[in-house]
Amino acid sequence: MRMDLIQPFINSADAVLAQGLESPITIENLSMEEEAYRRKGIAAEVCLTGEIEGRIIFDVDLGAAVQLASRLAGVEVSETNEELVREAVCELANQIIGNSVTTLNDQGFHFHVRPPTLHTSEQGSKSSEDTEALVMCFSTSSGNVFMNVALRHHRRRATERAAVAG
């Protein structure tokens, strides 16, 4: 997988989580995954279409998700308030992925991002040879946050765009 596509996601997760939690973030683990994605906690999925196509799953351990929701909401959020916790995870995914998309678009990659949806199934689709999945684990003061990025760059579409632009 191209690192220039991945780096904005790492930078954005680092910045958004650090700002939201007001504490430093470290990347604990980074690995390529060939097996189908197995959900670890509360997960949101964002799909991209265009020159870059694929999906990103943002997955947070339940305990960490509750703490993140409380910190971001500015009030104590209980584990029983599942809807608010899920909303918080979706909004975090939206911010992290939106910021990454901003960087990639400004670098000349053109694509569209869909609103985040809850990823409720225990298992996601398998990655393929041309859509490898990179799994990142971020360690935060509230617990672990995982991001699974499976993207494909359509060179032909980029070339076509350049040709049309003249």
Partner 1 sequence: MDKFAPVKRSEDGQPVRYLIVDDSVFARKNLARMVETFGGQVIGEAGDGVSAISEYERLMPDIVLMDITMPQMEGIEAAEKIVRDHPSARIVMVSSVGYQENIVAALQRGARHFVQKPVKPEVLYEVIKYVMRDDGTTPRGAGAGAGA
Interface characters, 81-110, with partner 1 (x: CB under 8 A): --xx--xx-xx--xxxxxx-xxx-xx----
Number of H helices, E strands in the chain: 4, 7
2 binds partner 1 (CB under 8 A): no
Q: Which is nearer to partner 1, 69 or 135 (CB)?
A: 69
Among 19, 23, 78, 159, binds partner 1 (CB under 8 A): 19
Q: DSSP assignment of 58-115, as one string?
A: EEE-HHHHHHHHHHHHTS---TT-HHHHHHHHHHHHHHHHHHHHHHHHHTT--EEEPP
H or E stretch at 161: helix 155-165
Tokens at 115, concatenated: 């609103």
The residue among 103 and 141 lying less far from partner 1, judged by its C-beta, is 103
Binding site for partner 1 (CB under 8 A): 16, 19-20, 69, 72-74, 83-84, 87-88, 90-91, 94-99, 101-103, 105-106, 113-115
